[in-house]
Amino acid sequence: MSRSTIRNIIISSVLFSVTGIAYFLMLHQVSVEGDRLGEEIDILQEHQAQEASYFKLIKIYESSKKDREELNNFFVLSESDSIDFLNEIEDTGSKLGVSINTNGVQTVTDSTDDSEWIEVDYTVKGSRERLQQFVQVLEQLPYVSRLVSLSMNGVTKTEWQANIKLQVKVLTYDE
């Protein structure tokens, strides 16, 4: 073989090796960039899912506004609401023909779930039938409430007295 042929073979071999190395380097770079692209696509999909969830929550929030306002009416939200509640009970008693004396109002915490309740003690006087009607009305109040205790005693043949302990749920939000 001539010198020029050997030189051409060496140059071809070097060029082939350089081309092969460049090819494998590019193949490796494409693989690394492909992995990075896959990670970015996953991040983008997660972000889009969070964005879609956010918009769904906004839509649910807006569509349930009326329902939430209606539900809030079943709870005592503040001290002024408790005064409204007490006035409503006294008005109801007057309409049913019983006399109501509020003996005490206090806030209690339920030991089972740490929820707050307003506890009201009443002494109610009237005929037996009217007292029973009043208790039925208390049991059907449009509030989250529970009748804790009730005792009825006949004072005279026509007049009865009831001692009633009623609890009304106070709506609180965790912050």
Domain of residue 78, CATH code: 3.30.70.60
- Express as a percent the part of the chain with pLDDT over 90: 41
Looking at the structure of the chain, the number of domains it has is: 2
Q: Which amino acid is at 127?
A: S
Residue 143 host element (H or E): none
Reading the block at residue 2, the tokens are 């001539």
Is 21 a domain residue?
yes
Regarding whether 126 and 101 lie in a shared domain, the answer is yes
Decide if 87 is inside a domain: yes
8 and 81 both lie in a single domain: no
Domain shared by 103 and 46, yes or no: no
CA-angle at 6, arms to 24 and 19, nearest 5°? 10
Residue-number span of the structural domain to which 27 is assigned: 3-63
Spatial distance between the Cα atoms of 81 and 100, rounded to a whole number of angstroms: 19
pLDDT tens-digit readout, 67-108:
777 766 656 655 556 677 788 888 888 888 999 988 888 888
For residues 57 and 128, state if they share a domain. Answer: no
Region of 114 (left: φ > 0; alpha: ψ -120 to 50; beta: rest) is left
Residues 58 and 25 in one domain: yes
- The alpha-helical segments, DSSP class H, found in the chain are 3-63, 65-72, 79-96, 128-139
- Lowest mean pLDDT, pick from 5-9, 47-51, 73-77, 114-118: 73-77
Please state whether the predicted TM-score (pTM) of the whole model is above 0.85: no
Which residues lie below 8 Å from residue 172, measured CB to CB, with a gap of 6+? 115, 116
